[in-house]
Chains A and B, each alone.
Chain A
Amino acid sequence: MEFLVASAIGVMTAAGIYMVLRARTFPVVIGLSLLTYATNLFLFATGRLAIGRPPVISADAAGYIDPLPQALVLTAIVISFGMTAVVVVMALRAYLETGNDHVDLPGDASPEATEDDWKLRGRKPAPAPGGRGGRA
């Protein structure tokens, strides 16, 4: 069981990091979700892995499992769920405002992103070229 859980955490973390480093927002969001799954599983495992042990005190229990990591995981799940919603909304908004889903800012190292952005800037009425944040 230890080997299975540990390798699951490792594989999910590796896949998550790879996806986060991609250049477009959708894979990045998926990568973030994978990272948070791996984190949640890791937190769960910090309470040690055991089967069939009660987390609350009872008279006929042979041993106990630490309930606190499970409470932490619940908190972490709620927070990461909310955060994923936020990042999806922001990514969608960025896509709608600039017309592409590149993570890079125009003018950063990615020539592709820059070209797309300027092209769309020219077509769209919204901000002036290079306008640093608009007066909305």
Chain B
Amino acid sequence: MNHLLILPILLPAVVGALLVLAARHDSVLARSFAVASTVLMLGIAVALLVLASDGQVRSYALGAWPAPFGIVLALDRLSALMLVLTAVLGLGVLLYAIGGWDQRGKHFHPLFQFELMGINGAFLTGDFFNLFVFFEILLIASYGLMVHGGGGLRVKAGVQYVVTNLVGSSVFLIAVGMIYSVTGTLNMADLARIVPQVAAADQALLQTGAVLLLLVFAVKAALVPLHFWLPGTYANAPGPVAALFAIMTKVGAYSIIRLYVLAFGADAGAAAWLAAPWLLPAGLVTLVLGMTGVLAARSLGQMASFAVIGSMGMLLATVAVFTPQATSAALYYLIHSTLAAGALFLVADLVAERRGAQRDRFAAAPRIAQGGLVGGLFFVAAIAMTGMPPLSGFIGKLLVLDGVRASAHASWFWALILSTSLIAIVGFSRAGSFVFWKAHALPAAPAPGYRPDGALSFVAVGGLLACLVLLTAFAGPVHAWLELVAAQLYAPAGYIDAVLGTAQGVR
């Protein structure tokens, strides 16, 4: 057993608790601890990525209780990739928040660490009851982050967010109970072993449970018709928190990829490819609805939220093809859309901070301070999000279009992806010209209440955008590596043997 596996969960848990206890009143101490912890987490994630690159699945049995009786963590290429992505986005968001947002309420840094703990745990766990527990950890931290800074509207949006997710948690538990009552296991690898042997009489219960579980992940991933909570939440959340939430929708996507390829994949007998007929149409409708929402949005935050919904639709529809080619393309797009959405929410916040009472709404407001720089960042983020060349969004869409070519629904994909890209481009150009160009028609007046923030905010946004440039420049090697990720996913025997077999060795 390699103890490095549990560090991404342990480190933020310890640092978060320390921050609450020791650094409550000292903002410098809290900031330095938080940054140190997040940088260390990035280091650990990269080390795990290097470790997982050899193609071997590693499992970590907590307390050395053998699986499937004990709780296990499992690390394969996909989890390592998601850990690195979380750490990169987390570091960018944290640097941005240190520009001022973290002082507008209490306990930003501890909540941030607990949020990272929940996300990392969800990516590492090999057990779907613990997936529920880690979902709850990341959600309860996100409730606190969502209302950070206060304000009536934000708290109201927060209540809606909490209620939606509590209903989601109940459905999650019901689904877990149903699957457990048929298979008698909560371990994902063990589930994959048992699902093919489930008797015909129990199939209805098993499949209902599995589809209910898909519903819960769809709530998290904001899939139509369960996307309704996202625009209100993200547009009302503090800017850096909305940017961090860009990874939370991907937790839903990750869970779908993990569970429905591993346990309900090719070998699942009567339950094979259970998710595909639901996920594919829902994903395509989500894509259309999200990108149409971009056109209809009334503020930058809302627009970014709908862009996130649209990108989730494209991602999940591509996943629903369930072939290694399509999945590797979807994963490339997943990396890209997480970073692009994070950067876009941060830019929207930069704009909102500078426009006084108008915030980020599409309404007439005078020119903003540092308008050229902020406008330039928006331009780059918009190019990335809409998928225009030369950035990685374009390559991502190209890979997706190529990856789904073998699918029976390829024509739907091509038509919808290309037309929604056009709609998104129109929406983003309208927003950009409204916020940055039309302002020149008004007399220049410094927006009231503007407080110049330090270079750190620009470093954070620039850093995330630089990651996108890197992702574009190294698209070849990255995609080659992602093909290995997909190959590992579609050969679940390795995962099952590693999780159930290692435990035997420990005993």
Which residues in chain B, 105-141, are within 8 Å of chain A measured between CB atoms? 105, 129, 133, 136, 140
In the bound complex, residues from chain B placing their C-beta under 8 Å from that of A82 are 140
In the bound complex, residues from chain B placing their C-beta under 8 Å from that of A20 are 163, 167
Nearest-CB distance from B122 to chain A (Å)?
A: 15
In the bound complex, residues from chain A placing their C-beta under 8 Å from that of B157 are 105
B311 within 8 A of A: no
In the bound complex, residues from chain B placing their C-beta under 8 Å from that of A130 are 361
Q: Flag if A42 contacts B177 (CB, 8 Å).
A: yes
A136 in complex: contacting residue of B105, B160, B163, B237, CB < 8 Å = B105
| Bitwise interface map of A from 72 to 98 toward B, beta carbon under 8 Å scored 1, else 0 | 100110011011001100110110011
A128 within 8 A of B: yes
B170 in complex: contacting residue of A36, A86, A87, A91, CB < 8 Å = A36
- Tell me the total A-B contact number using a CB cutoff of 8 A: 142
B163 in complex: contacting residue of A66, A87, A134, CB < 8 Å = A87
| Bitwise interface map of A from 103 to 136 toward B, beta carbon under 8 Å scored 1, else 0 | 1011000000000010001000011101111111
Of B149, B159, B184, most buried by chain A (CB within 10 Å of CB) is B159
Q: Flag if B156 contacts A98 (CB, 8 Å).
A: yes
B153 within 8 A of A: yes
Contact A32/B360 with A86-B140, A136-B149 known, Cβ cut-off 8 Å:
no
Q: Flag if B158 contacts A90 (CB, 8 Å).
A: yes
A46 within 8 A of B: yes
Q: Name which residue of chain A comes closest to B301, CB basis.
A: A132
Q: Flag if B159 contacts A79 (CB, 8 Å).
A: no
Q: Flag if B301 contacts A105 (CB, 8 Å).
A: no
Q: Flag if B232 contacts A127 (CB, 8 Å).
A: no
In the bound complex, residues from chain B placing their C-beta under 8 Å from that of A91 are 159
- In the bound complex, how far is the Cα of B25 from the Cα of A53, in angstroms? 54
Q: Flag if B155 contacts A94 (CB, 8 Å).
A: yes
Which residues in chain B, 218-238, are within 8 Å of chain A measured between CB atoms? 232, 235-238
Of A43, A76, A86, A117, most buried by chain B (CB within 10 Å of CB) is A76
Contact A42/B359 with A79-B136, A86-B143 known, Cβ cut-off 8 Å:
no
Of A90, A93, A103, A105, most buried by chain B (CB within 10 Å of CB) is A90
Q: Flag if A83 contacts B177 (CB, 8 Å).
A: no
B104 in complex: contacting residue of A105, A126, A135, CB < 8 Å = A135
Q: Name which residue of chain A comes closest to B100, CB basis.
A: A135
- In the bound complex, how far is the Cα of B166 from the Cα of A28, in angstroms? 11
In the bound complex, residues from chain B placing their C-beta under 8 Å from that of A132 are 153, 235-236, 299, 301, 352, 359-361
In the bound complex, residues from chain A placing their C-beta under 8 Å from that of B176 are 43, 72
Q: Name which residue of chain A comes closest to B137, CB basis.
A: A79
Q: Flag if A133 contacts B169 (CB, 8 Å).
A: no
- In the bound complex, how far is the Cα of B151 from the Cα of A42, in angstroms? 38
Residues of A in contact with B, size category: 35 or more
In the bound complex, residues from chain B placing their C-beta under 8 Å from that of A131 are 151, 153, 357, 359
Nearest-CB distance from A39 to chain B (Å)?
A: 5
In the bound complex, residues from chain A placing their C-beta under 8 Å from that of B156 are 94, 98, 102-103, 105-106
Nearest-CB distance from A115 to chain B (Å)?
A: 15
Nearest-CB distance from B293 to chain A (Å)?
A: 15
B487 within 8 A of A: no
Q: Flag if A93 contacts B155 (CB, 8 Å).
A: yes
Contact A105/B153 with A42-B174, A83-B140 known, Cβ cut-off 8 Å:
yes
Majority SS at the chain A contact face: helix
Q: Name which residue of chain A comes closest to B451, CB basis.
A: A135
- In the bound complex, how far is the Cα of B137 from the Cα of A83, in angstroms? 11
B270 within 8 A of A: no
- In the bound complex, how far is the Cα of B167 from the Cα of A28, in angstroms? 11
In the bound complex, residues from chain B placing their C-beta under 8 Å from that of A11 are none
B147 within 8 A of A: yes
- In the bound complex, how far is the Cα of B181 from the Cα of A132, in angstroms? 47
Q: Flag if A105 contacts B160 (CB, 8 Å).
A: yes
B449 within 8 A of A: yes
In the bound complex, residues from chain B placing their C-beta under 8 Å from that of A48 are 181
Q: Flag if B159 contacts A87 (CB, 8 Å).
A: yes
B150 within 8 A of A: yes
Nearest-CB distance from A32 to chain B (Å)?
A: 5
Nearest-CB distance from A134 to chain B (Å)?
A: 4
Q: Flag if B170 contacts A39 (CB, 8 Å).
A: yes
Of B133, B152, B159, B237, most buried by chain A (CB within 10 Å of CB) is B152
A54 within 8 A of B: no
Q: Flag if B151 contacts A105 (CB, 8 Å).
A: no
Q: Flag if B180 contacts A133 (CB, 8 Å).
A: no
Which residues in chain B, 349-363, are within 8 Å of chain A measured between CB atoms? 352, 357, 359-361
Nearest-CB distance from B66 to chain A (Å)?
A: 15
Contact A94/B359 with A75-B133, A126-B152 known, Cβ cut-off 8 Å:
no
Which residues in chain A, 47-70, are within 8 Å of chain B measured between CB atoms? 47-48, 66, 68-69
In the bound complex, residues from chain A placing their C-beta under 8 Å from that of B299 are 132
Q: Name which residue of chain A comes closest to B149, CB basis.
A: A136
In the bound complex, residues from chain B placing their C-beta under 8 Å from that of A68 are 180, 186
Q: Name which residue of chain A comes closest to B162, CB basis.
A: A87
Which residues in chain B, 236-284, are within 8 Å of chain A measured between CB atoms? 236-238
B173 within 8 A of A: yes
Q: Name which residue of chain B comes closest to A98, CB basis.
A: B152
Nearest-CB distance from B220 to chain A (Å)?
A: 16
Nearest-CB distance from B100 to chain A (Å)?
A: 10
- In the bound complex, how far is the Cα of B352 from the Cα of A50, in angstroms? 60
Q: Flag if A94 contacts B163 (CB, 8 Å).
A: no
B294 within 8 A of A: no
New A-B contacts (6) at CB < 8 Å, excluding given A87-B159, A134-B150: A32-B163, A43-B173, A90-B143, A94-B155, A94-B156, A106-B153
20 contacts between A and B (CB under 8 A): A35-B166, A39-B174, A42-B173, A46-B177, A46-B180, A68-B186, A75-B133, A80-B170, A83-B162, A86-B143, A86-B162, A97-B151, A105-B156, A105-B232, A121-B152, A126-B151, A131-B151, A132-B301, A133-B151, A134-B149
